[in-house]
Amino acid sequence: MNTVINGESLLDLIQGQHSELILVDTRSFAEYARGHIPGAINIDLMHFHWFDTSTVGILQFEKQMGLLLNYLGINPSNQVIFYDNISGPNASRGVWLLNYFSHLDSFMLDGGFEIWSKLKYPVEMKTNQYSHSTFNFHTNRTILADLDYVKNCVDKNSQDVVIIDCRSQAEYNGSVARAFHRGHIPKSVNVDWSNNLSNEKFSKFDALARLYSFISKETEVITYCQGGYRAANTYLALKQLGYPNVRMYLGSWGEWGNNPTLPVELN
């Protein structure tokens, strides 16, 4: 499954005036205002963390995110490109979000705005307006893990599931605490999301394949981080490699690590 688009291909789409293209700048508005890819609208996705994956919490998440996608003007016919400064967590979260709502014609600009700028492609500074839609999305819950799902995998000590902690080693081993608990979800394996990248872009296929060679394609993979952004980047990397069964734990450590009743490991 291809999850990224390169700058040259995006430039061709823009210059060809692709009428169904929606380009989403996921950086802060301050960065957007200093210059962005022509035609891009801006939404800083970092404002949309979600730490409640109870049944009610997921329903509320779906309602809020559905409204957000309608606010951005997304319809089934649109091709949607998200970009960050690099091939980063915000843009990854955007692609994962559209995948969750069964819209697969969505991609991350590989290398983001930094690569676009280095290539000296056109930039504009004017603010582009949203165009609202009323698209009724259908969710694909097979790519989301909630707290109960992850806890069940931990309790069963299932050998058919690999849980990847996409945070830094310091967060994983507990020397940096960003929740009530220090440490990580039991049995999870630490692969820092930044290892997915080389020079602001996704690493080449062979390098990514070596990074995740300890996981067979038949294994289910659950990714998590602090808030479901770095984990979305690893979700995209694994889908790029052809892993068919990948879920992102939406609540991530922000939910698990702040629940005093749940088990954690330190090492």
Locate the domains of the chain by residue range: 4-140, 142-256
pLDDT greater at residue 97 or residue 19 = 97
CA-CA distance, 143 to 155, in Å (whole number)? 20
Q: Give me the pLDDT at residue 121, please.
A: 98
142-158 confidence digits (pLDDT tens): 999 999 999 999 999 88
The per-residue pLDDT for 66 is 93
In the prediction, which pLDDT does 17 show? 78
**Residue given tokens 């994962």 in the structure block:** 96
The verdict on whether 166 is a catalytic residue reads no
Coil/strand/helix, residue 189: strand
Would you state the pLDDT for residue 82? Answer: 98
Asked whether residue 159 carries a pLDDT value surpassing 90, the answer given is no
Give me the mean pLDDT over the 112-132 stretch: 96
List 225, 232, 250, 264, catalytic entry: 225
Hey, what amino acid is at 192?
Answer: D
The fold for domain 4-140 equals: Oxidized Rhodanese; domain 1 (3.40.250)
Helices 89-100 and 55-71: crossing angle, nearest 10°? 100
User: Domain 142-256 belongs to what topology?
Assistant: Oxidized Rhodanese; domain 1 (3.40.250)
Q: What is the pTM of this model?
A: 0.96
* Pair 50, 106: CB distance under 8 Å: no
Contact 204, 198 (CB under 8 A): yes
Residue 257 is predicted with a pLDDT of 96
Instruction: Round the average pLDDT of the chain to a whole number and report it.
Output: 96
Residue showing tokens 């097979």: 142
Q: Give the pLDDT of residue 176.
A: 93
Asked if the model's pLDDT at residue 204 lies above 90, the reply is: yes
For CA atoms 192, 41, 117, 81, the dihedral sign is positive
Contact criterion met (CB below 8 Å) for 37 and 123: yes
Contact 101, 69 (CB under 8 A): yes
Taking 90 as the threshold, does the pLDDT of residue 19 lie above it?
A: no
